[in-house]
Homo-oligomer: A and B are copies of this chain.
Amino acid sequence: MAAAAPPPPPTPTPTPPSTVPADSTPIGHPLFSRVRLAGPSDVPHIHKLIHQMAVFERLTHLFSATESSLSANLFSSPPFRSFTVFILEVSPKPFPENSPHDSNPNYTPVVRIINSDLPVEDPEREIFKSENENVVVAGFVLFFPNFSTFLGKPGFYVEDIFVRECYRRKGLGKVLLSAVAKQAVKMDYGRVEWVVLDWNVNAIRFYEEMGAQILPEWRICRLTGDSLQVYGNDN
């Protein structure tokens, strides 16, 4: 397990200015967001996002993933049955109609319109450009099936959830996690689980508001590096 990046804190429900009737479109800058299945061509973006996450968590010394190691290990099985990545994209304009992503037989992209008070200044727009010049990759979530012996059925384990800095505090972390939860319900899976650092009180509050329990008593045990390798020689 790597670190699950703390998501942005929840976005407060915007209160429309009093001059705007409640049923009109809120004033502001709409930001179209889309959650879609990732594929092999997304690996360069995924690799950059994981690196940003390692920087954010001050764990770059643990970061050794390469584009080739990701390509070799992701996308070799059907989605949801093994390691699966959702990409979060945003655009100031509606997403293209008849996008090839819309006809993915495994997953229909989820589009939501977020209202942003100010237009987002994205200093890395060029690096994260996606389907067309308006669309940029803003984050990702990587998850895979786990198995509860007590329930006797699978769930999803969310390894990482990450939103780029300039897109935080807009509810996009919740958009990503909700997409995983929705898929779990659709597949009749019993649980969605992930981990959080105990000092990250903002993230813990956010997760609790999403309905999650935080299990205080369990500790993660990890066998890795030389301590793992010795078992290879153990005949």
A150 pairs with B182, CB closer than 8 A: no
B212 pairs with A222, CB closer than 8 A: yes
CB neighbours (8 Å) of A191 from chain B are: 1, 222-224, 228
B198 pairs with A148, CB closer than 8 A: no
A104 at the interface (CB under 8 A from B): no
A contact patch SS = mixed
Interface 0/1 of A192-221, CB less than 8 Å to B: 111111110000100100111111111111
Distance in angstroms between the alpha carbons of A1 and B213 in the assembled complex: 13
A11 at the interface (CB under 8 A from B): no
A124 shortest CB reach to chain B, Å? 19
Task: Report, as a range, how many residues of chain A touch the other chain.
Answer: 35 or more
A59 at the interface (CB under 8 A from B): yes
A1 pairs with B73, CB closer than 8 A: no
Distance in angstroms between the alpha carbons of A151 and B72 in the assembled complex: 12
CB neighbours (8 Å) of A8 from chain B are: none
B218 pairs with A220, CB closer than 8 A: yes
Whose C-beta in chain B lies nearest to the C-beta of A230? B211
A181 at the interface (CB under 8 A from B): yes
Which of B145, B153, B234 is A144 in contact with, Cβ under 8 Å? B145
CB neighbours (8 Å) of A196 from chain B are: 218-219, 221
CB neighbours (8 Å) of A3 from chain B are: 150
Using known A-B contacts A151-B64, A157-B157, determine if residue A82 contacts B214 with beta carbons closer than 8 Å: no
Using known A-B contacts A181-B231, A185-B229, determine if residue A150 contacts B194 with beta carbons closer than 8 Å: no
A212 shortest CB reach to chain B, Å? 5
A182 shortest CB reach to chain B, Å? 5
Nearest 8 A/B pairs, CB to CB: A65-B152, A185-B232, A211-B227, A69-B152, A181-B231, A2-B150, A215-B220, A191-B224
Name 11 extra pairs, CB < 8 A, besides A182-B232, A204-B219.
A66-B152, A69-B152, A144-B145, A146-B159, A149-B160, A157-B157, A184-B231, A195-B218, A196-B218, A196-B221, A211-B230
